[in-house]
């Protein structure tokens, strides 16, 4: 499957409602219990339509990610204080083999594909998150900390359960919201155990269009999406796909 063969499918919307393959959009996350944007990744549209948003995060892309306010790395902070200290956004470069992100409209998760350098699939990553709000320049969400890794042999495991508990203890995720996130995880597991979407759809055979460049991070990456289009669109990454 190549980028050229993945185009918008039939839409009930007006012309121009959907992005086209090759467009650059922003995939952004707010902090937990915050309206501040602290993650922004410029991505290239692979497919966009009422059923699915698929985007490519290219290696070498300048992104924004959170660090602690003193500039230190979040992952190096002890777990009991990791979610209690203030954070600040910092520009970084995504390196590795790149990531394909897939999101169905309304799902409280997106699915990311990670490959080794020889394009052998390493794993899918089910990123539990708030259903994405679509605006003219991209999609916005809130990461829900808890995730699921899925492997080519169809085995799976929860990821970041310790951080999920720590975020609750810090008051960033309330009891009711935590239960909703767990329920979303169980719904995702039903797709995994039934080998449903997107695992059955051979996205591991997809490859990016070699003509695509690396999208630029705009200076106003954190702009207010005043032109929200309405409705909904469409963890810690593995060591070989991460930031500098």
Average pLDDT over residues 100-107: 97
Whether residue 244 is predicted with pLDDT greater than 50 in this model: the reply is no
Q: 43-75: per-residue pLDDT in tens?
A: 999 999 999 999 999 999 999 999 999 999 999
Which are the contacts of 234, defined by CB distance < 8 A and separation ≥ 6? 48, 52, 53, 54, 102, 103, 104, 105, 110, 132, 134, 139
Range list of H helices, the chain: 79-82, 161-169, 175-193
Average pLDDT over residues 122-148: 97
Number of H helices, E strands in the chain: 3, 13
More confident residue, 195 or 237: 195
Q: What are phi and psi of 205, to 5 degrees?
A: -90, -5
Q: Round to the nearest angstrom and report the end-to-end CA distance of the chain.
A: 30
Asked whether the beta carbons of 128 and 109 are under 8 A apart, the reply is yes
The C-alpha atoms of residue 189 and residue 108 are separated, in whole angstroms, by: 13
Residue 7 has a pLDDT of: 33
Average pLDDT over residues 197-202: 98
Query: What homologous superfamily is domain 3-10+24-217 in, according to CATH?
Result: FomD-like (2.40.380.10)
Domain positions in the chain are 3-10+24-217
How far lies 196's CA from each of 101, 120, 158, 187, in Å? 16, 21, 18, 11
Residue 234 has a pLDDT of: 46
Whether residue 36 is predicted with pLDDT greater than 70 in this model: the reply is yes
């Amino acid at each position: 499957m190549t980028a050229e063969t993945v185009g918008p499918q039939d839409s009930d919307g007006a012309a121009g409602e959907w992005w086209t393959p090759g467009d650059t959009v922003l995939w952004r996350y707010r902090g937990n219990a915050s309206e501040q944007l602290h993650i922004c990744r410029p991505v290239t549209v692979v497919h966009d339509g009422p059923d699915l948003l698929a985007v490519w995060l290219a290696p070498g892309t300048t992104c924004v990610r959170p660090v602690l306010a003193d500039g230190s790395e979040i992952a190096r902070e002890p777990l009991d204080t990791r979610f209690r200290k203030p954070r600040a956004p910092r520009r970084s470069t995504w390196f590795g083999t790149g990531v394909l992100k897939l999101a169905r409209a309304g799902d409280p998760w997106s699915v990311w594909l990670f490959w080794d350098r020889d394009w052998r699939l390493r794993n899918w990553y089910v990123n539990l998150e708030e259903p994405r709000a679509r605006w003219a320049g991209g999609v916005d969400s809130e990461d829900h900390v808890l995730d699921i890794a899925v492997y080519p042999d169809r085995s799976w495991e929860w990821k970041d359960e310790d951080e999920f508990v720590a975020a609750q203890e810090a008051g960033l995720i309330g009891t009711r919201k935590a239960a909703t996130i767990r329920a979303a995880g169980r719904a995702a597991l039903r797709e995994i155990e039934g080998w449903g979407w997107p695992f059955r759809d051979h996205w591991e055979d997809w490859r990016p269009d070699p003509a695509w460049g690396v999208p630029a991070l705009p200076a106003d990456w954190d702009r207010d999406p005043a032109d929200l289009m309405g409705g909904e669109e469409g963890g810690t990454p593995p060591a070989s796909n991460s930031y500098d």
